[in-house]
């Protein structure tokens, strides 16, 4: 197994392609976004965690080539499918990207090939959704190729935990697929954990992020309580975190964003409803999370005695500090909520710069209110002077 094709070159696929190439695999990257292909062919990375130099090094050594037509890729031993699995407009699992990627792979899949799905899915999706697409499109029998599932664990902007040192779950449709997938990952992932079935790995991924989703939502609710009684939530968390067992700190904010935490639990909830199992914790956490932006709109109204006609600056629109990623950012709902009440809203984010056909403005005085939503490192809040201020990460 020397030739690898990575399908989807986003926040998961590109780091995976780079790590695989740096470990000696000959990597082909496939993405329908022509701008990404042009950028990479020019040695330019569009992801903070991957430097331009790493891309250029792989291109120079012919260990990475990128395409926007999968038919242009030479024979491949391993396909890695790293496409988004978002929510639809009615907040149901959207497998359209996975369906399209699986169909594309099926057209070039050869006997003996290994297909590994890294996208987050409901339990049973690889077995009952992906494999039939591969069989139909390739016109091969299931015995002719191998299928594995290894959910991504990418945390954009994390300076300590990355693809090489985060333990990786691996499962296979059969023992041969599991063995081949482990052999593939072993070259660039330090710690592999075997799961006995596809469904265990699929469910484990959903558990990881549902755990975080529920606990962050709980702390957001507790932050409202602390605000009511006039104490600072972060001091409460720090005090509780001195307990050396049975407690893990989570922190409040304007809501939960990103490609995983606000999305993956809904996949688990959808499957629960399908099979008639309860998912009340997830549903309650989802309700709390969706209402957090409105809570801060109300807080702004209370602070100013109404916000109609007021100029408000929202600071930070990315879903988390120190990345330019705005996927599922709760700040969008915050801004829309403020505008629905008649406020004129501007936003500042030195990393994002352009978002929703709007541009970041400078930090300065002269606003009726500033709301800190996402605090990137090094932000100089002194520039807003004596502007009234709300910090969504604090309760008072």
Contacts of 90 (CB under 8 A, 6+ apart): none
What's the rounded Cα separation, in Å, for the pair 43 and 59? Answer: 8
Residue entry with tokens 């996949």: 267
Residue entry with tokens 């890729």: 73
CA angle at 86 for the pair 377 and 125, rounded to the nearest 5°: 130
What's the rounded Cα separation, in Å, for the pair 307 and 316? Answer: 20
Please say whether the beta carbons of 295 and 228 come within 8 A: no
What's the rounded Cα separation, in Å, for the pair 213 and 35? Answer: 33
Beta bridge pairs of residue 29: 6, 66
Please say whether the beta carbons of 95 and 85 come within 8 A: yes
What's the rounded Cα separation, in Å, for the pair 230 and 218? Answer: 18
Per-position b or e across 137-146, b if 16+ CB within 10 A of its CB: bbebeeeebb
List, edge to edge, every strand of the sheet that includes 311-315: 344-348, 311-315, 369-372, 389-391
**Around 179, how many Cα atoms within 13 Å sit in the side-chain half-sphere?**
3
Active site residue 260: yes
Beta strand 358-359 with 344-348: parallel, antiparallel or unpaired?
Answer: unpaired
What's the gap between Cα 78 and its chain centre? 24
Beta strands, E only, the chain: 3-7, 26-30, 64-67, 78-81, 114-117, 146-149, 168-172, 192-194, 311-315, 344-348, 354-355, 358-359, 369-372, 389-391
For the chain, report the end-to-end CA distance as a whole number of angstroms: 56
What's the gap between Cα 199 and its chain centre? 21
At residue 344, what are phi and psi to the nearest 5 degrees? -95, 115
Residues in the chain: 396
Residues involved in catalysis: 260
């Amino acid at each position: 197994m020397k030739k690898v094709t990575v399908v989807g070159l986003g926040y998961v696929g590109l780091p995976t392609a780079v790590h695989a190439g740096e470990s000696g695999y000959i990597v082909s990257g496939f993405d329908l976004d022509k701008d990404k292909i042009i950028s990479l062919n020019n040695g330019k990375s569009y992801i903070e965690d991957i430097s331009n130099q790493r891309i250029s090094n792989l291109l120079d050594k012919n260990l990475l080539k990128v395409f926007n037509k999968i038919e242009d890729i030479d024979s491949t031993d391993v396909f890695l499918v790293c496409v988004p699995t978002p929510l639809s407009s009615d907040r149901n699992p959207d497998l359209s990207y996975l369906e399209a990627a699986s169909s594309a792979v099926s057209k070039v899949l050869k006997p003996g090939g290994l297909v590994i799905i890294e996208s987050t899915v409901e339990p049973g999706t690889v077995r009952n959704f992906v494999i039939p697409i591969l069989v139909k499109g390739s016109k091969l029998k299931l015995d002719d190729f191998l299928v594995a599932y290894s959910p991504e664990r990418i945390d954009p902007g994390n300076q300590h935990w990355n693809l090489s040192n985060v333990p990786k779950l691996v499962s296979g449709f059969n023992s041969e697929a599991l063995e081949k997938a482990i052999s593939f990952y072993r070259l660039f992932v330090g710690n592999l954990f075997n799961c006995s079935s596809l469904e265990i790995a699929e469910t484990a991924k959903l558990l990881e992020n549902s755990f975080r989703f529920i606990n962050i939502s709980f702390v957001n609710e507790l932050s409202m309580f602390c605000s009511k009684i006039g104490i600072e939530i972060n001091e409460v968390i720090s005090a509780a975190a001195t307990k050396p067992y049975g407690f893990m700190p989570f922190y409040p904010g304007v809501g939960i964003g990103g490609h995983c935490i606000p999305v993956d639990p809904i996949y688990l909830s959808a499957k629960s409803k399908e099979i008639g199992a309860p998912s009340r914790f997830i549903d309650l956490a989802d309700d709390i999370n969706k209402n957090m932006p409105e809570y801060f709109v109300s807080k702004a109204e209370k602070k100013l005695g109404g916000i109609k006609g007021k100029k408000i600056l929202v600071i930070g629109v990315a879903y988390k500090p120190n990345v330019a990623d705005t996927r599922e950012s709760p700040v969008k709902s915050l801004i829309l909520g403020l505008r629905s009440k008649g406020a004129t809203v501007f936003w500042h984010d030195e990393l994002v710069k352009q978002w929703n056909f709007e541009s970041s403005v400078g930090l300065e005085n002269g606003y009726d209110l500033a709301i800190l939503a996402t605090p990137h490192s090094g932000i100089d809040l002194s520039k807003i002077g004596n502007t009234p201020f709300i910090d969504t990460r604090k309760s008072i």
